[in-house]
């Protein structure tokens, strides 16, 4: 499918969604980690011949130096083809003691491409269930921080962050996006002062001399990169949240470094509960409701959405929301290819925004949208879909993969309406062919089309695969009850000719307003509305639904404060600025070609006059556009030279 050398070890240490400098810092860290991995490329194992049913992972770390003193992994699998050999991904820095099959040692090869390969005594037929155990030890390569040891104010800690292909840096596995492990058990043996954390429920803790064995059990399908462990001194406390979708309590367990366990962080972690309530109501049942949700603090920047237990550097509001959202989008359903990483990251970013929509004051919600839009509109190109997964700048573009993708979902919500949009998300998440598995963009699109009745081909072509955004220029005028608009569109990138999402406009008068939803029918079109009040101003997209720019011009009649004379004219046109200040002018012929333009120095003040010399223009019919500070006048004029 692609080379690991060009596919990114860091397909996403999830971004912390707060101040821009912090985001830029995180992006740089991801690029650094990718660069390090790119120097340590390896061949991936043959992926299509087994289905992993269960993994039993036993680990004993050395807290003093990070070494794995004792590692044992039993892979229970069902064959999907006749096989006589198996390939396992495992970094060469880790030493294999033995490979045991049915109680006997197998001959194996562990080569420089970081593949562990062995032959079975006989062919295992397709459809058979079997297992093999690998015993190993050694010090993992910690340069990419897939497995890393740090020392903080509370002492040493060891944690993992394996996305996308870092799991084999610390345990023998099968790195892919085609097969989730059906269930996994962890047996984590660590010195008594320390606590072990992993995916799933803590079933038991047993003391053994100066060590304790922690048994975690996870009974949901899980992709390799979400398998995670952490060892540290932790203060542990929990909140309880009622899942209204199933009328059941859910434990939310927080593992915090002792030196960070204070009133401030306890208040921050307590905000997880309202977020779970929100997502449970919008998206459906928390995906791992038979177990729990929680946080484990680690010493790496940002966070990672490890299934049931997000690892966090801190408890920032946005980071908590983002990683929690991933439990639905990225964990329950995982992108089937890294080109569709937006199905993980754009969605989690939008869940973060939804916390502002539903849980914060309205002004904060609108400000978040404006901030995101400012970033996305700062450059004219960039697609949500990752067309080139070897291009780390494109794949990890915070502007496109995270922010633009989130705003494209927000815009789709406007197009579909809240009821259809959230029902479509629930249908997608509960599709029996997708849930706890993998999905591509087509599966998501089909669900949104089914619930809305819309054909979304153009929308996905324009906003997911296409690049850029539209700028709408709106000229409007009112005559009596008739409100006329001329709307033109320019796109920032040649990949899209016309964006066609309806425009939200609000016409405002004295104590009255009119909200309209204007269908976009062409690059230039006219539309008319009947309004029973005098319109003072036009608000374009007041609720920040669209990823677009707007300019507008209010066209006045001559009686409204401007006189242009004589008409027809000879060489000179006179401007009488009766009721507003004039800045400049443009004259066009009937084909739209600019014939003349200029300004009036410091402008023409109200009640003053200005002159335009048209000596070089031929006789004929023209349009003159008089531009003022707050309004614009467009009028047909005729040049007719005196004979």
Residue-wise pLDDT for 279-326, tens only, equals 999 999 999 999 999 999 999 888 999 999 999 999 999 999 999 999
Residue in 606, 596, 547 with CA at minimum distance from that of residue 573: 596
pLDDT at 173: 97
pLDDT at 560: 54
Structure tokens at 521: 């029918």
Model confidence pLDDT, tens digit, residues 550-609:
998 877 544 456 778 888 888 889 888 777 788 899 998 887 788 999 988 777 887 788
Q: CB of 149 within 8 A of CB of 17?
A: no
> Taking the model in full, what pTM does it have?
0.85
User: Looking at residue 300, what is its pLDDT?
Assistant: 86
What pLDDT is recorded for position 558?
46
Residue of 621, 623, 577, 619 whose CA lies nearest to 597: 623
CA distance 37 to 426: 37
What the block records as the tokens of 323 is: 């990683």
Residue-level pLDDT at 587 = 92
Whole-number pLDDT of residue 35 = 45
pLDDT at 559: 44
Tokens 């003072």: give the residue: 536
Farthest-apart Cα atoms in the chain, separation:
114
**Spatial distance between the Cα atoms of 32 and 38, rounded to a whole number of angstroms:** 10
Cα atoms in the 13 Å half-sphere on the side-chain side of 465: 9
pLDDT at 385: 96
| CA-based torsion, 428, 434, 435, 438: positive or negative | negative
Q: What is the pLDDT of residue 12?
A: 39
Are 604 and 577 in contact by the 8 Å Cβ rule? The answer is yes
Residue 581 has a pLDDT of 81
Who's near 483: CB < 8 A, 6+ residues apart? Answer: 476, 477, 507, 528, 529, 530, 531, 535
DSSP-derived letter for residue 338 is G
Counting as low any pLDDT under 50, the low residues of the chain are 1-28, 30-31, 33-41, 557-559
Residue 626 pairs with which residues in a beta bridge? 585, 633
pLDDT of residue 67: 98
Q: What is the pLDDT of residue 13?
A: 36
Distance CA 487, CA 479 (A): 18
Per-residue model confidence as pLDDT tens digits over 391-450: 777 777 889 999 999 999 999 999 999 999 999 999 999 999 999 999 999 999 999 999
């Amino acid at each position: 499918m692609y080379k690991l050398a060009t596919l990114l070890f860091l397909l996403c240490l999830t971004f912390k969604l707060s101040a821009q400098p912090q985001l830029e810092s995180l992006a740089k860290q991801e690029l650094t980690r990718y660069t390090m991995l790119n120097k340590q490329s390896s061949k991936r194992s043959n992926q299509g011949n087994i289905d992993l049913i269960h993994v039993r992972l036993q680990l004993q770390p050395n807290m003093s130096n990070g070494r794995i003193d004792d590692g044992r992994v039993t892979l229970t699998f069902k064959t999907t083809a006749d096989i006589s050999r198996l390939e396992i991904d495992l970094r060469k820095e880790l030493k294999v003691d033995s490979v045991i099959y049915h109680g006997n040692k197998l001959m194996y090869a562990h080569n420089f491409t970081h593949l562990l390969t062995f032959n079975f005594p006989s062919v295992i037929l397709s459809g058979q269930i079997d297992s093999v155990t690998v015993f190993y030890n050694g010090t993992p390569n910690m340069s990419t921080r897939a497995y890393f040891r740090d020392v903080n104010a509370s002492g040493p800690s060891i944690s993992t962050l394996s996305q996308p292909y870092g799991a084999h840096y610390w345990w023998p596995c099968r790195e892919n996006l085609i097969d989730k492990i059906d269930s996994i058990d962890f047996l984590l043996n660590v010195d008594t002062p320390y606590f072990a954390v992993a995916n799933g429920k803590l079933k038991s803790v047993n003391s053994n001399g100066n060590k304790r064995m922690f048994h975690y059990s996870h009974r949901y399908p899980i992709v390799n990169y979400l398998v995670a462990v952490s060892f540290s001194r932790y203060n542990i406390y929990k909140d309880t949240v009622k899942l209204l979708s199933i009328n059941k309590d859910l434990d939310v367990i927080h593992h915090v470094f002792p030196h960070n366990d204070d009133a401030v962080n306890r208040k921050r972690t307590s905000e997880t509960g309202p977020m779970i309530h929100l997502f449970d109501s919008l998206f459906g049942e928390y995906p791992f409701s038979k177990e729990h949700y929680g946080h484990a603090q680690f010493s790496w920047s940002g966070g990672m959405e490890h299934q049931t237990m997000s690892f966090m550097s801190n408890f920032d509001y946005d980071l908590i929301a983002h990683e929690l959202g991933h439990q639905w989008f990225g964990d329950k359903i995982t992108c089937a290819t890294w080109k569709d990483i937006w199905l993980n990251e754009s969605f989690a970013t939008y869940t973060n925004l939804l916390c502002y929509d539903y849980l914060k004051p309205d002004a904060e919600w609108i400000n978040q949208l404006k901030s995101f839009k400012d970033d996305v509109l700062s450059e004219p190109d960039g697609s949500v879909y990752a067309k080139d997964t070897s291009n780390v700048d494109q794949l990890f573009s915070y502007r496109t993969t995270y922010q633009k993708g989130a705003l494209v979902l927000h815009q789709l919500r406007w197009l579909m309406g809240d009821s259809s949009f959230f029902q479509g998300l629930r249908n997608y998440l509960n599709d029996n062919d997708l849930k706890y598995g993998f999905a591509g963009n087509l599966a998501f699109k089909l669900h949104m089309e089914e619930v809305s009745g819309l054909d979304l081909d153009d929308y996905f072509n324009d906003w997911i695969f296409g690049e850029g955004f539209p700028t709408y220029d709106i000229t409007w005028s009112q005559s009596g009850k008739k409100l006329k608009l001329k709307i033109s569109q320019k796109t920032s990138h040649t990949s899209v000719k016309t964006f066609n999402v309806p425009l939200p406009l609000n016409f405002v008068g004295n104590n009255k307003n009119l909200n309209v939803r204007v269908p976009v029918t062409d690059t230039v079109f006219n539309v008319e509305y009947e309004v029973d009040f005098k319109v003072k101003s036009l608000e374009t997209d007041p609720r920040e639904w669209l990823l677009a720019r707007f300019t507008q011009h209010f066209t006045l009649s001559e009686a409204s404060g401007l006189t242009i004379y004589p008409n027809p004219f000879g060489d000179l046109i006179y401007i009488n600025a009766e009721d507003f200040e004039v800045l400049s002018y443009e004259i066009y012929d009937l084909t739209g070609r600019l014939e003349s333009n200029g300004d009036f120095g410091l402008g023409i003040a109200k009640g003053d006059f200005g002159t335009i010399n048209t000596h070089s223009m031929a006789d004929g019919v023209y349009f003159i556009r008089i531009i003022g500070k707050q309004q614009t006048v467009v009028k047909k004029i005729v040049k007719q030279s005196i004979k």
